[in-house]
């Protein structure tokens, strides 16, 4: 891994520090994130609802709201149809909750990943007919074909699509009410999550009704979970959604979230995007990957304690199964990779893999080797694929060129998926091999960006509180990385599958501090116990009960 330390001219840094009225450390962090004016600094550090864009910048929003309010007036049944990942589940739960508060007649449907997949099917049509649904609203998903849309129209059901994926042109010639930042010419924030788009829809409905938006903001912790889970840029409106959502979790109005935070032993006053991404989102995802995502929507809107506890128990069971399946698949793939000679990409398929967990394995392999990874689970004559890519290589565009072969296809620049008949798999593998082997090898080297030199003896609670004003951290606002030298590792232990991680303490002069290193267990050897290292780290707050202490996340060391 290549390290790159960002440096600024000393005079320029001093000048900007005075202009920003910030320390040189914070000024450097802001400049590293492309924030160069006083106005940008104030907006970034003090984001509020005043920074949100009008939802009516979406071209079809007036017509969309008119159709929803017409359904309210006629007391028509509205069914919210969400994708089965955390983003789709969160957005669906949010719309159900805030629409019911307005008196709309709303129900919801989440497809079973294993048995239904994404798409309009006979089970769904039966459900809609049984419910006498007249309006069908999607969250985090589109309509994949004209046939699906015709099935809905034949049953006298109107359609509103809310999505944030880059759509194909399959139904572009059919008039559908759509709210999607990726295809909007006017809406400035192209990086909303699916649940974020649902929030903008709710905003427009509440605004038109002349109802206070306070309730919408009070439940933004639901939208925040979907937004963090979907790994969208932590900038623009997403920054407000995440900051407000994390703040709401301190005293959440969602009863289920209180219980899950307690179960995971997370201090709600110190909860971060990392806690959401590594602990909360996976346990929600587990039900959708292994069993039934609809239960998770119920978890968000349920008020009955007994039912909430029952759902949490199902989540725990599903999470154990998910972990087991992931480890099995991951180890199998790792064994195969060891026999390859520095692969530039991975394309593997199996009839034994659970389609619900290959996405997580795909991400882990891609991050570890910094290469594109495509994993395909084959069942009943079809291959279901999860694809992950690396910065600078747009997997969506590559796959789009052969999308005429897919039954289903969607995703983002760095993450996509498709469903295809098994008879086309060899052809698609051959095509991907040709395209992915043309990638410039130099762009494949992983770079670890370092913000500044900062000795561990300088780290204290006040300084970390100051640094954390730049949070939430994530895509396009990465955690600040610092470098220090002369570090000794002491009292460390390894943990995780195959001892992938380590935790313990580091020492420099008279300063001891707790550390944790993910996916670095292989680099730390007992025989080098007396060696002094150069480390790259991120300081974070950790809490045990009411105690708050500083821990360093070690990103790499030499």
Q: Are residues 354 and 386 in the same domain?
A: yes
pLDDT at 421: 92
Q: Are residues 92 and 222 in the same domain?
A: yes
| Domain final residue pick, 419, 444, 469 | 444
Q: Are residues 425 and 469 in the same domain?
A: no
Q: Are residues 127 and 97 in the same domain?
A: yes
Identify the H or E element spanning 177: strand 177-179
This prediction has a pTM of 0.88
pLDDT of the chain, 558 residues: tens digit per residue: 899 999 999 999 999 999 999 999 999 999 999 999 999 999 999 999 988 999 999 999 999 999 999 999 999 999 999 988 899 999 999 999 999 999 999 999 998 766 666 667 778 888 999 999 999 999 998 876 677 788 888 899 999 999 998 776 555 556 789 999 999 999 999 999 999 999 999 999 999 999 999 999 999 999 999 999 988 899 999 999 999 999 999 999 999 999 999 999 898 888 999 999 989 998 888 887 776 778 889 999 999 999 999 999 999 998 889 889 999 999 999 999 999 988 999 999 999 998 888 988 999 899 888 899 999 999 889 899 999 998 888 898 899 889 889 887 878 888 888 889 999 999 999 999 999 887 655 556 788 999 999 999 999 999 999 999 999 999 899 999 999 999 999 999 999 877 889 999 999 998 999 999 998 998 998 877 889 999 999 999 987 666 789 999 999 999
**CATH value at residue 379:** 3.10.310.30
Q: Are residues 233 and 344 in the same domain?
A: no
DSSP state of 550: E
pLDDT at 172: 57
CB 487 within 8 A of CB 455: no
Q: Are residues 400 and 529 in the same domain?
A: no
Residue 219 lies in a domain: yes
Residue 31 lies in a domain: no
Please, what is the angle between helix 305-337 and helix 294-301, to 10°?
Answer: 140
Residue 485's domain comprises 448-557
| Domain final residue pick, 273, 296, 313 | 313
| Domain final residue pick, 391, 420, 444 | 444
Identify the H or E element spanning 28: helix 24-32
Residue 180 lies in a domain: yes
Residue 178 lies in a domain: yes
pLDDT at 419: 86
**CATH value at residue 157:** 3.90.1640.30
Coil, strand or helix: which one is 541?
A: strand
Q: For residue 324, with 0-12 CB atoms within 10 Å meaning exposed, 13-18 middle and 19 or more buried, which class applies? A: exposed
pLDDT at 548: 83
Q: Are residues 161 and 106 in the same domain?
A: yes
pLDDT at 500: 85
Identify the H or E element spanning 208: helix 194-209
Give the separation between CA 135 and CA 152, rounded to whole angstroms.
10
Q: Are residues 404 and 479 in the same domain?
A: no
Residue 429 lies in a domain: yes
Q: Are residues 193 and 135 in the same domain?
A: yes
Q: Are residues 271 and 199 in the same domain?
A: yes
Residue 72 lies in a domain: yes
CB 356 within 8 A of CB 386: no
CB 390 within 8 A of CB 372: yes
Count of domains observed in the chain:
3
**CATH value at residue 470:** 2.40.50.460
Contacts of 93 (CB under 8 A, 6+ apart): 108, 222, 296, 297, 299, 300, 301
Q: Are residues 533 and 553 in the same domain?
A: yes
Residue 517 lies in a domain: yes
Tokens 């199998």 belong to residue: 332
Residue 412 lies in a domain: yes
CB 141 within 8 A of CB 82: yes
Coil, strand or helix: which one is 100?
A: helix
Q: Are residues 502 and 421 in the same domain?
A: no
């Amino acid at each position: 891994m290549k390290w790159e330390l960002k440096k600024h001219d000393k005079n320029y840094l001093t000048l900007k520090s005075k202009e920003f009225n910030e320390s040189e450390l914070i000024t450097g962090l802001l400049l590293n994130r492309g924030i160069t004016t006083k106005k940008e600094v104030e907006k970034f550090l003090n984001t509020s609802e005043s920074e949100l864009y009008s939802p009516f910048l979406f071209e079809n929003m007036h017509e969309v709201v008119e159709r929803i309010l017409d359904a309210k007036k006629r007391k028509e049944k509205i069914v919210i149809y969400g994708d089965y990942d955390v983003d789709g589940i969160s957005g669906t739960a949010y719309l159900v909750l805030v629409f019911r508060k307005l008196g709309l007649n709303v129900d919801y449907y989440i497809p079973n990943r294993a048995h239904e997949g994404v798409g309009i099917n006979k089970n769904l049509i039966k459900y809609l007919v049984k419910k006498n649904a007249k309006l069908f609203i999607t969250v985090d998903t589109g309509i994949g074909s004209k046939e699906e849309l015709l099935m809905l129209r034949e049953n006298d059901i109107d359609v509103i699509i809310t999505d944030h994926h880059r759509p194909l042109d399959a139904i572009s010639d059919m008039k559908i009410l759509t709210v999607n930042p990726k295809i909007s010419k006017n809406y400035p924030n192209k990086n909303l999550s699916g649940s974020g788009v649902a929030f903008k829809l709710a905003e427009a409905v509440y605004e038109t009704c002349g109802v206070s938006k306070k309730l919408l903001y009070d439940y933004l912790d639901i939208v925040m979970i979907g937004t963090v889970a979907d790994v969208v840029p932590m900038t623009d409106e997403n920054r407000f959604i995440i900051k407000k959502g994390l703040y709401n979790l301190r005293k959440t109005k969602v009863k289920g979230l209180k219980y899950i935070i307690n179960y995971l032993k997370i201090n709600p006053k110190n909860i971060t995007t990392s806690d959401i991404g590594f602990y909360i989102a996976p346990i929600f995802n587990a039900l959708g990957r292994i069993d039934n995502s609809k239960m998770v929507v119920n978890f968000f809107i349920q008020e009955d304690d007994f039912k909430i506890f029952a759902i949490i128990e199902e989540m725990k069971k599903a999470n154990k199964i998910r972990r087991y399946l992931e480890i099995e698949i991951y180890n199998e793939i790792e064994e195969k990779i060891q026999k390859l000679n520095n692969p530039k990409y991975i394309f593997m398929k199996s009839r034994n893999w659970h389609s619900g967990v290959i996405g997580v394995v795909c991400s882990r392999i891609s991050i570890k080797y910094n290469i594109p990874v495509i994993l395909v689970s084959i069942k009943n004559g079809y291959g279901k694929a999860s694809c992950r890519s690396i910065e600078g290589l747009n997997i969506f565009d590559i796959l789009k060129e052969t999308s005429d072969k897919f039954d289903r296809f969607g995703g983002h620049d760095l993450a996509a998926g498709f469903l295809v008949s098994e008879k086309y798999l060899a052809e698609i593998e051959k095509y991907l091999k040709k395209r992915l082997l043309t990638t410039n090898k130099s762009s494949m080297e992983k770079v670890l960006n370092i913000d500044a030199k900062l000795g561990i003896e300088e780290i204290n609670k006040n300084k970390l509180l100051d640094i954390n004003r730049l949070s939430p951290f994530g895509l396009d606002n990465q955690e600040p990385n610092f470098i220090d030298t002369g570090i000794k590792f002491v009292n460390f232990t390894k943990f995780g599958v195959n001892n992938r991680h380590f935790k313990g303490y580091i020492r420099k002069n008279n300063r001891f501090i707790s550390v944790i290193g993910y996916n670095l267990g292989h680099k730390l050897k007992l025989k080098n116990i007396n060696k002094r290292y150069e480390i790259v780290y991120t300081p974070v707050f950790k809490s045990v009960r009411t105690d708050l202490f500083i821990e360093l996340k070690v990103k790499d060391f030499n």
